[in-house]
Structure formats: C-alpha cells, structure tokens
Amino acid sequence: MRKRMLSVVASVAITALLSSILPTNANAQEKMSLNRLKASFYQQKNSRAVTSTINLSKVKDRQILIKTKDINKVFSKYSGIKRLNSHDILETKDLYIVRVPERLNYSTTLNTLKKLPFILSAEPNYLQERKVSAVRKPNDLYYKKQWYLNKIGVQALWPLIKPNAKPVTVAVLDTGVDVSHPDLKGQLVQGYDIVRHSKNVNDWDGHGTAVAGTIAAKMNNKLGIVGVNPFAKILPVRIGGEEIADSDSIAGIYYAIKHHADIINMSYGGSEGSEAEFDAILSAAQHGITVVAASGNEYGGEVEYPAAYPTVISVGSTNNKNKISDFSNVGPQLDLVAPGENIKVLALKNRYALEDGTSFSTPIVSGLVSIIKSISPSLKPNMIEYILEKGAIPLSKSASTWNQNSGYGMVRAINPSSIKLPNVNDDVSDDRAKAKTIALNKTYTNKYDLPMDSDWYKLEVTKNMTLKVELSGVTNMDGIVWVDKMSKGKVTKEEMHNKGKLGAKESFTYKVTPGTYYFQILEANNHWSTKPYSFKIKKV
C-alpha cells in the first residue's frame, strides 16, 4: 500500500507552520530552504497519491495526531473524540493524540478535524514496522567473522579517533537495549522509554540491542563482536516493539534533540508519511543532527518513511558480493547502500545472532557517520553526507553518479580529510541577500554542489511583461524553482515550480510587474551532482 499524503498544504502555510517549529536561532536562509524542501516534498506532482481511503489496520487504535495551540477548543467544537495521554515532549510541540470511537466514522472525523481553523494539522497515527527478517539460531560470533567490517574498511579509521575526545552520541530509536549485555558495557548513556514514560529502556524484543551493537559494540573485551565505531556512545530511546506509532517516533526524535544526540538511527519504516514526523526531522537537521534510516525490506518497493524524507540519509542493503539485496527498497529518495545480509549482531541474554535487513545496513552507516563526526567534529550534516556519498563505491554501470537502485553506491569508511568538499567560492550564494544579479536572455550555469545546496538569482524588472523561465534537466536530479516577488524588503508573492521528474527540465511562463524578483533553485531529493545545470530567463 502506498504512502498517503493526507494534507497537501499551501506553500505559504507550510512556511508559517515550519517557522513555528524550528529553533529561533537557526540560520534564516537554511530555515527557508528547509521550508521549501518540505513544501516541494508535499506538492511535487509525482508525490505518492492522496486518497480518502484509510486502512485502519495501519493506524494505532483509531488514533489521530493533532497539531493545535488550543486543544481545549478542539473538544468544545467536537465532543465525540477522546483525548489520550501522550508524552510531555509532544505537547511542548503542540501535538496531541485523540481516539475516534467505533461509533464514529474515522475518515469523516479526520476530515472534519482538518477543516477546523484552529487545527494546524491532523493525520492518522500510523504504525511503522521494524525492518528485519526472522532471527536465525544464535551463534558465538567473533570479529573475524564480521565480513562487512573488512568490506567497508573501517579498521583504518579507528586509530584516527582520539581516545580522550568527547565521544559522539548516536540515538538509537528502537525497541530499547539489553542493558546487561557485556558487549554494551560502558557503551550506553542514560536513555528513555517513550512508550512507558520510564528510564528503564530494557529490550524484550532484541531488535534495538542488535542495532545498537552494530554501531558500538565494545572492542577488545574478548567477547562476541565489535561495533563499527566502538568509541561511540549509544543513547537508547525505546519507541515501541514489533510496531511503532508515528507519535512515539516523533517523541523519540524530539527526545534525541533535547538530549544532544549527534546522530539519530531509525531502523524502521512504513509506507505512510507524517507531516509532524517530517517537522521533527527538519528540527533535527536545524540542530546539526544527522538522521539515518532504513529504506525498507519490501523487495524493490518504494523507499519507506522516515527514510524517504529528503534530509534523511536513506540506506538500502547489499550482500558480500556487492549486489543489491533482493529485499532492499529503491527509488528517487535512496542515498546509499551498505551490507545488510548475514550481519553478526548482539542478541538477548548475552547471545549473538545472524540477521538480514536494511535495519542493519542503517547502523553501519550511522557508525561511519559517528566516526567522521569524531574525527572532524565541525562538519555539518550535509558535509558528512557528501563525504560518505562521494567516497562510496559505485555499483551501477551507468555513467551517472547516482541511481535509484544503489543511490551513490556502497558505503565505505572514509577519512574526511581525503574527500575534498566542492569549491563553492564561485558558487551562486545560498543567501538571498547575496543573490547573483542576472539579465534577461543570458544563460547561467551552476551545480547542485552539496546536499541542501541552494542557489539564489536576482532579476530587476522595470515594466510589465511575461517571462519564460527555463532550468535545464540534470541526469537523475529533480530541480525545483521558487519565485519570490519582493517589495519593501518583504516577500509579497512566492510560487514553486517542479514537474517532479528525475532529469526533467523546468520551463514555465511568469507574468511580472515592475519590481525585484528572486529565483531559488533546489534539488527535491537533497541530492548533488557533478554535472551543471543551466538557468535562463527571457522575455516572451
């Protein structure tokens, strides 16, 4: 079943909503770009279909997640629903959970709530699943059997991590951890159980323990396995068991932000997206947190959420022969692939197991992110992502840098100093105040240099006319053009143009009156390319 976007919000409304969520001290231009990335995500023409039919088997106990600044007003206007207890961290973000009783039609109630003027958003509290296959018979496993560590070459980076430096913290949003497992001794910081509102994060399932160990299992203790980064610390955030509600995932993200995580690992997903979850992930991006998530195990299905959100590093799976796993999900949102078959993991009761799934590809990437962050703490998430993607081993025979089956390729351990970041000295500015002034009938070229790259152009118009705006296509990139009309330092009109097709050009006509116009160019999936685009505006 496809993910449903249940509320296609006008771009201006999205901008206002997101501005209320992101921290006030965030860079204004970065915030604007995130606003628009979100707007394009919901409005692009190839977004997954909106439908009025809701499969209640995918919704937690007939629940709805509401964003409002006046929850009491909701019940004064609509008394048939029941307010449920939710995590305090959700309510600080004006998010509340309500239940629709069986006597009321769920879809009708949801649509009614969405129309109330004091409700900013209302969406089903969807369930997500962990991305894992069945557990095999536990084994005593040793470092030499961890084939994937040699495959990604991580051992070369361990000596570069300063042992006395402040450890990088990876928040593992999952089923908790086995706090008594000897391979996690000394590797954990105090976590939290979002579901039970408790500091007891003990894992009764085993999935979270396996994920945490893949990232940071202890080294040189003569036991079991070693994590990709045994010098990292794990912040365990228990958000569920076999199924995970969107509301608990959202609360877990905000908990990780509040407790200063450097990386968030999300080895779960579902076919349904959540505007409130995307807001939380964008907030993590604004706080400098790298978010990594599993693409899904639906045998070539679409990339699932949260991995499908543009600012998340989406990870698919490979085997020991560098072949894409048959279960690994693919699509325009995919960023990288990593080993995900026959992965040696921690199991409950001090045991070990073999696992398959993008659930275990994801912590391998999170572990590598944590190593890069350890070596170069000042790197921003988009730079870390670029380093991993630029250093990946291409798995496609195509000349293109990126493709839908393997993203930028199979991840490998990269010393950040060995990857040269793009020279942006000649790049068109990411800041509207420093936009490049352009003229009609002249072609300008630039690149999508990095994830989150944004290029601003400025055009002064002296008379009424109709313009034709053209942005060339770049192989496997999805370009977006935003147009802003400025008057007295304020945006009086903004408009987005995006056909939503990989490699397609954007071409549209636009009527203008005298004044200053700004054109912002973004890549919808947060991807980068070494190939340039061309941009031209001419009078019709």
One DSSP character per residue, 245-307 reads EHHHHHHHHHHHHHTT-SEEEE-EEBS---HHHHHHHHHHHHTT-EEEEE---SSS-BPPBTT
207, 249, 274, 406: which is the annotated catalytic residue?
Answer: 207
Single-letter code of the amino acid located at 247: S
DSSP 504: -
Give the pair of three-digit tokens for residue 441: 């009938």
As a whole number of angstroms, the distance between CA 334 and CA 329 comes to: 8
Single-letter code of the amino acid located at 279: D
> CA 15, 466, 428, 454: dihedral to nearest 10 degrees?
30
In our burial notation (b when 16+ CB lie closer than 10 A, e otherwise), range 510-519 reads bebeeeebbb
326 is a catalytic site residue: no
A 10 A CB-CB count for 67 gives 21
Residues 6+ apart with CB under 8 A from 246: 60, 65, 123, 124, 125, 126, 127, 128, 272, 274, 276, 277
As a whole number of angstroms, the distance between CA 3 and CA 275 comes to: 12
Distance of CA 527 to the CA centre of its chain: 12
205 is a catalytic site residue: no
3-state secondary structure 16-65: HHHHHHCCCCCCHHHHHHHHHHHHHHHHCCCCCCCCCCCCHHHEEEEEEE
Q: Is 425 exposed, middle or buried (0-12, 13-18, 19+ CB in 10 A)?
A: exposed
Instruction: Answer whether 211's CB lies under 8 Å from 174's CB.
Output: yes
Give the pair of three-digit tokens for residue 308: 């499908």
359, 366, 406, 529: which is the annotated catalytic residue?
Answer: 359
174, 262, 279, 449: which is the annotated catalytic residue?
Answer: 174
Residue 331's closest CA among 442, 255, 237, 406? 406
Q: Beta strands of 305-434 (E only): which ranges?
A: 313-318, 336-339, 343-347, 351-355
249 is a catalytic site residue: no
Cis status of the peptide bond prior to 101, with omega within 30 of 0: no
Write down how long the chain is: 540
* Residues designated as active site: 174, 207, 359
